[in-house]
Chains A and B, each alone.
Chain A
Amino acid sequence: DIQMTQSPSSLSASVGDRVTITCRASQGISNYLAWFQQKPGKAPKSLIYAASSLQSGVPSKFSGSGSGTDFTLTISSLQPEDFATYYCQQYNSYPWTFGQGTEVEI
Chain B
Amino acid sequence: EVQLLESGGDLVQPGGSLRLSCAASGFTFSDYAMTWVRQAPGKGLEWVSVIYSGDQRTFYADSVRGRFTISRDNSKNTLYLQMNSLRVEDTAVYYCAKIVRLSGIDYWGQGTLVTVSS
Contacts and interface: CB of A to CB of B under 8 A. Distances in A.
Contacts of A100: 44
Given A50-B102, A98-B46, A44 B62 contact: no
Given A43-B95, A94-B59, A53 B108 contact: no
Nearest to B106: A46
B65 to A, nearest CB: 10
Most buried by A among B44, B100, B107: B44
Contacts, number: 62
Nearest to B6: A43
B45 A36 contact: yes
- From B37, B95, B105, name the one whose CB has the most chain A CB atoms within 10 angstroms: B105
Question: Secondary structure of the B side of the interface?
Answer: strand
30 contacts: A1-B62, A32-B102, A32-B104, A34-B104, A36-B45, A36-B105, A43-B95, A43-B108, A43-B109, A43-B110, A43-B111, A44-B45, A44-B95, A46-B105, A46-B106, A46-B107, A49-B100, A49-B106, A50-B103, A53-B103, A87-B44, A89-B47, A95-B59, A95-B60, A96-B35, A97-B47, A98-B44, A98-B47, A99-B44, A100-B44
Interface of A: 1, 32, 34, 36, 38, 43-46, 49-50, 53, 55-56, 87, 89, 91, 94-101
